[in-house]
Amino acid sequence: MERPHAAGPTDAFGHEVWDYFTKRQGWEVIERDDGYIDPYPSNVAPRLYFAPFKDWPEVERKGIRFAKGRVLDVGCGAGRVAIYLQRYKGLDVLGIDNSPLAIRVSRARGLRKTRLIAFEDIDFGPGSFDSIVMFGNNFGLFGSRSRAKRLLRKLFTMTSPGAVLICDSADPYKTSNPDHLRYHKRNRARGRMPGQVRIRVRYLSYAGRWFDYLLVSPDEMKEIVLGTGWRIDRFIRSRKGPLYIGILRRTDR
């Protein structure tokens, strides 16, 4: 399938996903603002964005059981989570992403409801959703502590009483990589959270826009949700690495 002419040069993630969808080839490079490069071969990403349920991380397979009712999938990418919930759980799911090509791929794969919109621009009416899912390390899309608190309050207004927010993050402190440890120290000196990274996606000649991405420990997630209308119900922790799931519930008192 020919690459869409309207695809933008900054939609590096979308081009990567499109090539994997159409040709089963592609790869991903994450570039950090200190020059650190993290390459992912095709057997890791973008394949992960298309993974069937049986190939999801164990914590995600456990966490998704809490999804119910009308679901908002934040950063839906190629639609792996939204399509699973729609097709196998019979849920009403809306997938949102800021990548035009990713949205096109998720639609082509059968996701019925999509919207091209950046996370920070979401504006749905009161009680629009019963569940919000942020998988694929997508708690990171909150970007910073202050932005997370602001967006969590906004998500509160858009959800129904008893709503659940299911998100995953990677504990940034579970590393011995000296480059990461130096970056943590650099962040602290600049007044940023240690796990707040500024990154962009690279693929072929495409370079995405720089954005802040927030990795937090479970204790940091607990602190962030205070005063936002949400509370931590439980954590589902990985036995193999830093990935974990946070199950957040609305405080309706």
Q: Are 168 and 66 in contact (CB under 8 A)?
A: no
pLDDT at 5 exceeding the cut of 60: no
Q: How far apart are CA 97 and CA 74, in angstroms?
A: 7
**Residues with Cβ < 8 Å from 65, sequence gap 6 or more?**
none
pLDDT at 6 exceeding the cut of 80: no
pLDDT at 3 exceeding the cut of 80: no
What residues does each domain of the chain span? 12-250
Angle 149-83-19 from CA coordinates, rounded to 5°: 95
Query: pLDDT by residue (tens digit) across 214-240?
Result: 999 999 999 999 999 999 999 999 988
**Residues with Cβ < 8 Å from 123, sequence gap 6 or more?**
none
163 half-sphere exposure, CB direction, 13 A CA radius: 23
Spatial CA neighbour of 130 closest among 235, 35, 249, 225: 249
Q: How far apart are CA 27 and CA 228, in angstroms?
A: 37
pLDDT at 2 exceeding the cut of 70: no
Q: Could you give the percent of the chain with pLDDT greater than 90?
A: 91
Q: Name the CATH superfamily for 12-250.
A: Vaccinia Virus protein VP39 (3.40.50.150)
Q: What's residue 42's pLDDT?
A: 74
Q: What is the pTM of this model?
A: 0.95
Mean pLDDT estimate for the chain = 95
Q: What's residue 43's pLDDT?
A: 74
Q: What's residue 66's pLDDT?
A: 98
Q: What's residue 9's pLDDT?
A: 87
DSSP state of 140: G
Q: What's residue 87's pLDDT?
A: 98
DSSP state of 250: E
Q: What's residue 135's pLDDT?
A: 98
Q: What's residue 7's pLDDT?
A: 64
Q: Could you give the percent of the chain with pLDDT greater than 70?
A: 97
Spatial CA neighbour of 30 closest among 115, 114, 133, 140: 140
Joined together, the tokens standing for residue 52 give: 């069937």
The beta-strand segments (E) located in the chain are 28-32, 37-40, 70-74, 92-97, 113-116, 129-134, 159-170, 196-203, 206-207, 211-214, 230-237, 243-250
Q: What's residue 1's pLDDT?
A: 62
185 half-sphere exposure, CB direction, 13 A CA radius: 6
Query: pLDDT by residue (tens digit) across 176-192?
Result: 999 999 999 999 999 99
Query: pLDDT by residue (tens digit) across 117-143?
Result: 999 999 999 999 999 999 999 999 999
135 phi and psi, to 5 degrees? Answer: -100, 175
Query: pLDDT by residue (tens digit) across 51-102?
Result: 999 999 999 999 999 999 999 999 999 999 999 999 999 999 999 999 999 9
